[in-house]
Chain A
Amino acid sequence: MVNDPLLQVKGVGIQFGGLKAVSNFNLKINQGELIGLIGPNGAGKTTSFNLLTGVYAPTEGEILFDGKRINGLPPFKVTQRGISRTFQNIRLFNELSVIDNVKVAYHSLAKHSVLSSILRLPSHFSGEKEMEKKAMEFLKIFELDKYKDEDAKNLPYGKQRRLEIARALAAAPRLLLLDEPAAGMNPQETKDLMELIAFVRKEFNLSILLIEHDMNLVMGICERIYVLDHGVLLAEGTPEEIRNNPKVIEAYLGEEVHDEHA
């Protein structure tokens, strides 16, 4: 039982009308691993994230998290089971302050009821105080504590990305899904972000699944890599294996050589 993978995806697929966006997708993530998911544009990376988090229900196959089926659960239940995510196009709560963004993610770990909040019972105050404390801890790790009362929409782009990761972590996940966390960042910001990801992984004992376009980055930090193309799994293996896999090279780089594929 100890060696059971944390996440096991077995033959999952989804069909939108006549289009098979993803089919026969298999994936395994062990406790503590950092896995990369790469592929050209439109390969189905974000769709597979949406399948894992319950945004879409798969039309075939099975997703097991911690040995239990999670496909068909709504997203908020998947998150409460311990899978949390960020989005490719940042989705913060713009009009909420930075600290409140994090508090929303901590919501389902707090216990005080609606009635206790309306009547301002002691459990409301202790609950809110704990949320404040926890949220500050996450903001400090991501060096966002000095912006805590700022509206999220006023943060610069790179900090918004960091806030999104902080928020995802506040939901206390065991598996963190990052959808292109470095998109739009400059090389220095990307490097800092990668160090941060490595740090939180250790600090929170996390498994991480990462979608990324930047090949160097993925090759640099991931232990294993899955490659998607046209909705099917093209290859999986260590960065070294992926780098030398002829099918991957063709999907990524071969387009110029074989003009008819372009």
Chain B
Amino acid sequence: MKKSKQFWPFIGSAIAAYAVIQLLISMGILDDFYSNILIFMSINIILAVSLHLIIGITGQFSLGHAGFLAVGAYISAIVTMKLDLPFPVAILLAGIMATLAGLVVGIPSLRLRGDYLAIATLGFAEIIRIIFLNIDYVGGAAGMQVTHMTTWTYAFVCLFVTILVIVNFTNSRHGRACISVRENEIAADAMGINTTYYKVMAFAIGAFFAGVAGALYAHNFYIIQPQNFGFLKSIDILVYVVLGGLGSLSGAVVATVLLTIVSTFLQDYPETRMIIYSLVLIIVMLYRPKGLMGTMEITDYFKLWRSWKGDKQHGK
């Protein structure tokens, strides 16, 4: 089948990419600055891809992704700093607790549609932030000190698993059910799809990986504070997904890479940083109103290119 044909090249190129970068890091060619950008990029991609499942695939407009990120960050910090458990356990627990948070929000609020769901999830994310702000155990407004534990290897493995799970989920009857909810909820219902179940499922999987990203995030920045997980963080993630093209996973990845690079290099010009960043967004949306990739995936471009080449040869 075509899916399994794509599978091995994907694994192969992923391992190759990992090995090359790991080699460059250990040889000292990529210094801390660059490896940090790569880690930060991986975290952002995990966030973008998990939100892509909720918004791009299932069509549920959620503005609460920073809330799940916060749950993951704080839970993982508690696990490593207070309970002295190993980092991988913290990553896993962060994901699980974020999933639970996703279920708590998702089950009541996914009855709502469109704008109303967006407002409800936005409210939820704020509630989470304020809860952490008021718990002294995690440091309140001053935040919580966290040891730096996130390495390129952790970031890469989490990123790889995230993409693999979400691609596999999307390319199955379950993913099709989610897309059918996005395309026409009434028809999906009439075709025997339990729409609530799949909305909650997409929400839970998305929340899990946002929690994982939270664990990486917390252990990358030495300190976490509630203000890092505000409304603007949710918007940041949303921008990656929309800019890449709603419904395109590779689009979300490309947009995240691009915007992370832009915003990192603009850090040297703090006065103009947000102006240039916003200009980039406006220009992309003007020239690619459906996002960088529309609903296409990178593999679709390969297919197009191959059939175009085939036509040319037939023409001769």
Interface, chain A (partner B; CB < 8 A) = 53, 55, 74-76, 79-80, 84-85, 87, 91-96, 100, 103-105, 107-108, 110, 112, 114, 117-120, 124-125, 127-129, 131, 167-168, 171
Q: Is there an interface contact between B192 and A91, defined as CB atoms closer than 8 Å?
A: no
Tell whether A128 pairs with B173 under 8 Å between CB atoms, given A79-B191, A108-B192, A171-B191: yes
Q: Is there an interface contact between A104 and B186, defined as CB atoms closer than 8 Å?
A: no
Q: Is there an interface contact between B176 and A103, defined as CB atoms closer than 8 Å?
A: yes
Query: How close is A126's CB to chain B, nearest CB, in angstroms?
Result: 11
B182 contacts which chain A residues (CB < 8 A)?
Answer: 95
B179 contacts which chain A residues (CB < 8 A)?
Answer: 93, 95-96, 100
| Residues 142 to 197 of chain B near chain A (Cβ within 8 Å) | 165, 168-169, 172-177, 179-180, 182-184, 186-195
Q: Is there an interface contact between B180 and A79, defined as CB atoms closer than 8 Å?
A: no
- Cross-chain pairs A/B with CB under 8 angstroms, 13 sampled: A53-B190, A75-B189, A79-B191, A79-B192, A85-B190, A93-B183, A95-B182, A95-B295, A96-B179, A108-B192, A110-B173, A120-B168, A125-B1
Interchain CB contact (< 8 A) of B190 among A79, A118, A119: A79
Query: How close is B183's CB to chain A, nearest CB, in angstroms?
Result: 4
How far, in whole Å, are A83 and B260 apart by their CA atoms in the complex? 50
Tell whether A91 pairs with B193 under 8 Å between CB atoms, given A104-B176, A107-B176, A128-B172: no
How far, in whole Å, are A107 and B179 apart by their CA atoms in the complex? 12
Tell whether A76 pairs with B192 under 8 Å between CB atoms, given A100-B176, A117-B174: yes
B174 contacts which chain A residues (CB < 8 A)?
Answer: 114, 117
A92 contacts which chain B residues (CB < 8 A)?
Answer: 183-184, 187
CB within 8 Å: A-B pair count: 105
How far, in whole Å, are A179 and B249 apart by their CA atoms in the complex? 37
With contacts A104-B188, A107-B192, A112-B172 known, what are 5 further pairs, Cβ within 8 A? A55-B190, A93-B184, A95-B179, A107-B191, A117-B174
Q: Is there an interface contact between A107 and B193, defined as CB atoms closer than 8 Å?
A: yes
Query: How close is A239's CB to chain B, nearest CB, in angstroms?
Result: 29
Q: Is there an interface contact between A105 and B191, defined as CB atoms closer than 8 Å?
A: yes
How far, in whole Å, are A114 and B201 apart by their CA atoms in the complex? 9
How far, in whole Å, are A112 and B190 apart by their CA atoms in the complex? 21
Query: In chain B, what residue has the closest Cβ to A100?
Result: B176
Q: Is there an interface contact between A167 and B172, defined as CB atoms closer than 8 Å?
A: no
Query: How close is A12's CB to chain B, nearest CB, in angstroms?
Result: 19
Q: Is there an interface contact between B186 and A91, defined as CB atoms closer than 8 Å?
A: yes
B72 contacts which chain A residues (CB < 8 A)?
Answer: none
How far, in whole Å, are A131 and B179 apart by their CA atoms in the complex? 17
How far, in whole Å, are A174 and B227 apart by their CA atoms in the complex? 57
How far, in whole Å, are A167 and B180 apart by their CA atoms in the complex? 12
B186 contacts which chain A residues (CB < 8 A)?
Answer: 55, 75, 87, 91
Interface, chain B (partner A; CB < 8 A) = 1, 4, 7, 165, 168-169, 172-177, 179-180, 182-184, 186-195, 201, 247, 295
How far, in whole Å, are A214 and B180 apart by their CA atoms in the complex? 31
Q: Is there an interface contact between B176 and A75, defined as CB atoms closer than 8 Å?
A: no
Tell whether A95 pairs with B183 under 8 Å between CB atoms, given A107-B176, A127-B173: yes
Query: How close is A209's CB to chain B, nearest CB, in angstroms?
Result: 14
How far, in whole Å, are A114 and B30 apart by their CA atoms in the complex? 39
How far, in whole Å, are A190 and B293 apart by their CA atoms in the complex? 40
How far, in whole Å, are A55 and B180 apart by their CA atoms in the complex? 17
Query: In chain B, what residue has the closest Cβ to A87?
Result: B187
Q: Is there an interface contact between A118 and B169, defined as CB atoms closer than 8 Å?
A: yes
Q: Is there an interface contact between B177 and A107, defined as CB atoms closer than 8 Å?
A: yes
Interchain CB contact (< 8 A) of A105 among B7, B165, B192, B201: B192
Query: In chain B, what residue has the closest Cβ to A109?
Result: B192
Q: Is there an interface contact between B191 and A118, defined as CB atoms closer than 8 Å?
A: no
Tell whether A104 pairs with B190 under 8 Å between CB atoms, given A95-B183, A117-B172, A120-B168: no
How far, in whole Å, are A79 and B177 apart by their CA atoms in the complex? 15
A117 contacts which chain B residues (CB < 8 A)?
Answer: 168-169, 172-175
How far, in whole Å, are A93 and B180 apart by their CA atoms in the complex? 6
Interchain CB contact (< 8 A) of B173 among A95, A131, A171: A131
Tell whether A124 pairs with B172 under 8 Å between CB atoms, given A91-B184, A95-B179, A118-B165: yes
A79 contacts which chain B residues (CB < 8 A)?
Answer: 189-192
Most buried by B among A93, A100, A119: A93
Query: In chain B, what residue has the closest Cβ to A81?
Result: B192
Q: Is there an interface contact between A171 and B192, defined as CB atoms closer than 8 Å?
A: yes
Query: In chain A, what residue has the closest Cβ to B186?
Result: A91
Query: How close is B106's CB to chain A, nearest CB, in angstroms?
Result: 15
Query: How close is B216's CB to chain A, nearest CB, in angstroms?
Result: 21
Interchain CB contact (< 8 A) of B191 among A74, A104, A125, A127: A104
A96 contacts which chain B residues (CB < 8 A)?
Answer: 176, 179-180, 183
Most buried by B among A84, A95, A103, A167: A95
Query: In chain A, what residue has the closest Cβ to B164?
Result: A118
How far, in whole Å, are A96 and B168 apart by their CA atoms in the complex? 17
How far, in whole Å, are A53 and B189 apart by their CA atoms in the complex? 10
B191 contacts which chain A residues (CB < 8 A)?
Answer: 76, 79, 84, 104-105, 107, 167-168, 171
How far, in whole Å, are A96 and B177 apart by their CA atoms in the complex? 11
Tell whether A114 pairs with B169 under 8 Å between CB atoms, given A95-B179, A96-B179: yes
How far, in whole Å, are A74 and B189 apart by their CA atoms in the complex? 8
How far, in whole Å, are A79 and B193 apart by their CA atoms in the complex? 9
A108 contacts which chain B residues (CB < 8 A)?
Answer: 192-193
